[in-house]
A and B are shown apart, each in its own frame.
Chain A
């Protein structure tokens, strides 16, 4: 983000269940607001142009790429970032499944993959393999070859339950 000069707004939203207010430029990227202002650095920047999904977060129940969301459009929303998956020091079952299936290697794509998978399982708790692949098609991984990620999502879905 720039030096913060120019137009500023007080942006209110809820992130991982917590209400926050951030003073920022309305055109600042939500990605930068999360990382630089709120220090939620789990959300990654890969391409910065909507192609890779490393910056994916769930906004009002929908998967979005935070590098393409201007801050003003996050006013009043409910956000979930990767930091909001684990609870009470315990990984979420989806994260456990990634660990178990070796769904992460270098890890740069992992937060975005987790959020896309989390969002999918919220919409469709028992997706077909095809549905998993379609949902994750906007998330690029240069390490795993995808098979282990798809397997991890399938495992999490199988174990099911509410607390994905």
Chain B
């Protein structure tokens, strides 16, 4: 066995408040443990540094999905199975549902959480591109209170985030939008189940009165963090008709916003090409959309 459990301490709080009080008392000493689908893998591989963990999994208050007329708010412990089962998410946030469906296998989907996916801060994670496109906001909570931040900007560098050592991710909020919205999510990996992405693409576009009013594009696996691609979004959003969608300019701009690397899962060249091709598919979906105003 490559690990020694005696190197760890795992404390189970009775409430979120108690967890936060422990974290405030020893800032940086306690790390959250949710579904364990990232941390327990590291443990078994002998790669999890020893220390204290706080067991969030039993805290039911972090596993709620609340729907209001303006937003859907998901507790950090919302699992991939919870996401797939929720009718409002199926209807209005299909890219998040698709990301959940394509994450791991069934047993992973029953235990892996959105908070863990964000907290793990992998640049190749599959929900973040969808969350970025949907303008998600995060509630970070500490013993001092809570703060809401846009998810965009939360990842500041490779595995770096704005989370303070005394904070947990408590909830995520997705603003609802009525009206026409087009969604396009694609994950490219070595096989369908259980595989980490080489490249993951999420794109959505809002139409009003037959015109594009906004486009959002986010990618995983092509830079040190998941990224939004504002330059490409502007190029596509400027189109006033399907024929005016400038795919060549969009592809060229996408290339400038990526910084892919060679690693065990793929090469930089492959990732760049695949990301551009996925953008091409998104442009095709946009072009063929029946919602455009007739000239």
Contacts and interface: CB of A to CB of B under 8 A. Distances in A.
Contacts of A119: 106
A101 B144 CA distance: 60
Nearest to A56: B107
- The residue among B45, B107, B111, B194 with the most chain A CB atoms within 10 A of its own CB is B107
Given A27-B53, A68-B41, A6 B5 contact: yes
A138 B6 contact: no
A75 B58 CA distance: 9
A18 interface: no
Contacts of A2: 1, 3-6
B10 A7 contact: yes
B76 to A, nearest CB: 16
B10 A27 contact: yes
Given A27-B8, A68-B41, A73 B193 contact: no
B106 A137 contact: yes
Interface string A1-41: 11111110000000000000000011111000000000000
A52 B202 CA distance: 28
B104 interface: yes
Contacts of A103: none
A67 B44 contact: yes
B277 interface: no
A138 B36 contact: no
Q: How big is the B interface, by class?
A: 20 to 34
Nearest to A28: B5
B41 to A, nearest CB: 5
Q: How big is the A interface, by class?
A: 35 or more
Contacts of B7: 6
Contacts of B225: none
Interface string A92-116: 0000000000000000000000001
B5 A138 contact: no
Nearest to B44: A48
- The residue among A5, A65, A69 with the most chain B CB atoms within 10 A of its own CB is A65
A28 B108 CA distance: 19
B107 A138 contact: yes
Given A65-B107, A70-B36, A137 B194 contact: yes
Interface string B92-104: 0000000000001
B192 interface: yes
A29 B40 CA distance: 8
B4 A139 contact: no
Interface of B: 1, 3-10, 12, 33, 35-37, 40-41, 43-45, 53, 55, 57-58, 81, 104-108, 110-111, 192-194
Those 7 A-B pairs whose CB atoms lie nearest each other, nearest first: A138-B105, A6-B6, A137-B193, A26-B10, A68-B40, A25-B5, A27-B8
